[in-house]
Structure 1
Amino acid sequence: MTPSRARRLLPPLALGSVAAAALTGCGPDPGEPWAGAYVNVTAYPYFDFGAAAAGQSHTVLGFVVADPEEPCTPSWGGYYGLEEAETTLRMGEQIAALREAGGDVVVSFGGAARDEPATACADPEALLGAYRQVLDRYEVPVADFDVELNDLQDPAANQRRAEAVARLQEERPAGTPLEVWLTLPVSPAGLSEDGEDVVAQMLAAGVDLAGVNVMTMNYGESRPDGQSMVEASAEAARAAHGQVRELWAAAGQELSEEQAWRRIGLTPMIGVNDVPGEVVDPEAAAALNAFAREQGVGRISYWSLNRDRPCTAEHGDPSEANDFCSGLEQEAGEFTRVLGQGFGD
């Protein structure tokens, strides 16, 4: 998922028949399933997510990355420091509005556009401090680490991140745990070898990993001709499900099929994708939601809340993906309702 500042680019789940079976196996159960859209917080004109996401149980704010000039300092998108974000993005005010409406925030570190902090900051203590600064400032209950492109192919950075996240979880007071998700690219064949390595490093470092959120998008040539986006996403999820069971088993935690599904998240890109030929319309979103509910996944998100509305003339060519509309005929907020169906209010 690639945010830019320019004009381009919770309650318990109503489980399906598979997930309704009693969880068996030896692994610990993850937290309650949830739904929540990503928000591109640095897209300009700035997005009023405090109002648009009101009523959602979770809203995923992307992305915190390393400051381009101070690599161990966190920033929003590489554009705004945490203090500047208070005024320019109204960050604190908007988060407060979400909480007043009964929801909460997830902070996502990384993304495709800039360096995830562990990639740029080689000092483990400074990296820990950077993560802690963000999580403490916004009192974050759930952290999402979107690891892709160059970040994905840096084993040393991935190890620094894993060790820092394990320490962050250890620091949490009893009763206020830090839920941690890894967001990774996927193909119909599942996670790449690099993606599997990132998961394995997290588990080996002692991270209590809630799950792996697969980006069911940008398949490119890995999606066979004639295969729909829903079919490709279901195939990718099933492949990732098998990999999750193997990875957790290698770390000493045997998971049942149901427990492994609870550790899978799905994140499509709604509307017209930035990869030609990839389109997720409301009908496809409903099918993906039905699949997610039937399997009993732990999370469903999408990119992005900014785009959950029809395009107008000011948005430019609707056949090309942009940060402000889906490129499809739809009702405003339709994807939020469709993808969140059965996951809570």
Structure 2
Amino acid sequence: MLGAAGLALTGCGAQHDPWFGGYVNATSYPYFDFGTEAAGQSHTVLGFVVADPEDPCSPSWGGYYGLDEAQETLRMEQQIAGLREAGGDVVVSFGGAAGNELATACTDPDRLLTAYRAVLERYDASIVDFDIEMDDLEDQEANQRRAEVLARLQEERDEPLEVWVTLPVAPHGLDEDPVEVVAQLLAAEVNLAGVNLMTMNYSESKPAGQSMVAASQEAARSAHGQLTALWEAAGHNLSAEQVWHRIGLTPMIGVNDAPGEVVDLEAAAELNRFARDQGVGRISYWSLNRDRSCDPEDGDPAEANDFCSGLEQETGEFTRVLGEGFDE
């Protein structure tokens, strides 16, 4: 298990052991018992904390449950305790594709800091993930506000805080908005552990004949060059190995949202080998909820849904394949 004591902060980011951890859609219904299903894994990424629709500076899970309501309805604290008792830990993920990330909705930096702090203290989190996409990605004022507040949050803490930013990527690399998000974080002097690439749903950015693995490898290599330049522009000349260590890869297992895009177990194994060969700092996937075959009541397995992969598989098989060689 990687805790705060395992981190050594430098001026250009946190040095950490590579880790594996799948995302959980914590508010999907029927509720997912991640405290049991993910027990024994070193990391579990819980998504997503967003702004309360009725109180933009208050954190909520998915826009549905305040922190107290999440305890009552989702048994959030008990499930997290179960993971920790089994030797693992949680990563709290802010943002996601639905709802507004707190920095987008809350324009008061002091109240934003209070909101982030409340979540970290509530769950005793030492690793956080900011999944910035959709409208949040385009809001430069919010992105700047988030960067400045995260720098303050890291500075005020007695223990290090490992910060990851999760961004969409294409085979040609990061587009302009994601590049600007990283640049703003580095300019604000956030100790950025790394950039987690959403290697999924490429749609028209991927040539029709290119496999998902080949597209993901190309995306990672393209982003590696961009991130090397971004850290250099921020005054940090990193080696190729150091930049790879600041990259994470996150595929969507099974049937993706983009028609015709599928990551099967063979592709997952190949992506895992690539990640280990390159020395990436993190591998995740969307999502633990989906790491099983579909039942008839889940709907058409050829269409992506929140509850199954759309493939014939053993329950938990993607977790084993993608996590091979990490956290050892």
Compute the displacement of 1:313 (Å). Answer: 1.1
Q: Distance in 1 between matches of 2:91 and 2:72?
A: 20
Q: Which residue is equivalent to 1:253?
A: 236
Q: Is the contact between residue 18 and residue 327 of structure 2 (CA under 8 Å) also seen in structure 1?
A: no
Q: 1:344 Cα shift?
A: 2.3
Rounded to whole Å, the distance in 2 between the matches of 1:187 and 1:284 is 17
Aligned-partner residue type, residue 78 of structure 1 = G
Q: Is the 8 A contact 2:14 2:162 kept in 1?
A: no
CA distance in 2, matches of 1:181, 1:151: 16
Contact kept, 8 Å, 1:72 with 1:121, in 2: the verdict is yes
How far is the alpha carbon of 1:30 from its aligned partner?
2.1
Note if contact 2:232-2:238 (Cα within 8 Å) is conserved in structure 1. Answer: yes
Match of 1:242 in 2: 225
The 5 A counterparts of 1:73-222 are: 73-173=58-158, 176-222=159-205
1:149 Cα deviation after fit: 1.2
> Which secondary structure does the structure 2 equivalent of 1:36 belong to?
strand
CA contact (8 A) 1:29 1:259 kept: no
The offset of 1:27, in angstroms, is 5.7
AA aligned to 1:341 is E
Specify the alignment match of 2:267 in structure 1. Answer: 284
Cα deviation, 1:69-105, whole Å, max 9, x if unaligned, reads 1100000000000000001011000000000000000
Residues 116-160 of structure 1, C-alpha deviations (whole Å, 9 max, x = no match): 000000111011111000011000010000001110111100011
Q: CA deviation at 1:228?
A: 0.2
Match of 1:22 in 2: none
Residue 21 of structure 1 is matched in structure 2 by none
The answer to whether the 8 A contact 2:14-2:192 is kept is: no
Instruction: After TM superposition, give the deviation of residue 28 of structure 1 in Å.
Output: 6.0
- Structure 1 stretches lacking a partner, 5+ long: 1-9, 12-25
**Matched residue of 1:42: which SS?**
coil
Within 2, Cα distance between the matches of 1:244 and 1:102? Answer: 33
Deviation string 1:230-279 (CA, Å, 9 cap, x unpaired) is 00000000011111110000000110000000000000000011110110
Paired with 1:28 and 1:307, the residues of 2 have a C-alpha distance of 32
Unaligned runs of 5+ in 2: 3-10
Corresponding residue for residue 308 of structure 1: 291
Contact persistence 1:27–1:259 (CA under 8 A): no
TM-score computed with the length of structure 1 as normaliser: 0.91
Q: 2:57 aligns with which of 67, 72, 79?
A: 72
Please tell me whether the aligned partners of residues 101 and 136 of structure 2 are also in contact (alpha carbons under 8 angstroms).
yes
Give the Cα–Cα distance (whole angstroms) in 2 for the partners of residues 156 and 165 of structure 1. Answer: 14
**Is 1:224 the counterpart of 2:224 in the alignment?**
no
Q: 2-side partners of 1:274 and 1:244: how far apart?
A: 27
Instruction: Tell me the C-alpha RMSD between the 2 structures.
Output: 1.1
Residues in 2 aligned to 1:166 and 1:305: alpha-carbon distance in whole angstroms: 31
Give the equivalent residue in structure 2 for 1:62: 47
CA distance in 2, matches of 1:29, 1:114: 29
Q: Which amino acid aligns with 2:89?
A: D
Residue 194 to residue 303, structure 1, CA distance change in 2 (3 Å):
same
The structure whose residues are more often strand, as a share, is 2
Give the whole-Å Cα distance in 1 for the aligned partners of 2:13 and 2:57.
34
Q: RCO greater where, 1 or 2, for CA within 8 Å and sep 6 or more?
A: 1
Residues 28/312 of structure 1: CA separation in 2 closer, same or farther (3 Å cut):
closer
CA distance in 1, matches of 2:186, 2:16: 17
- Normalised to the residue count of structure 2, the TM-score between the two structures is 0.96
Whichever residue aligns with residue 280 of structure 1, its letter is: V
Q: For residue 37 of structure 1, report the CA deviation from its aligned partner.
A: 0.2
In the alignment, what sits opposite 1:7? Answer: none
Deviation at 1:29, TM superposition (A): 6.1
Cα drift, residue 172 of structure 1: 1.4
**What secondary structure sits across from 2:56 in the alignment?**
coil
User: In 2, distance between residues paired with 1:30 and 1:187?
Assistant: 27
Counterparts of 1:30 and 1:44 in 2: how far apart (Å)? 37
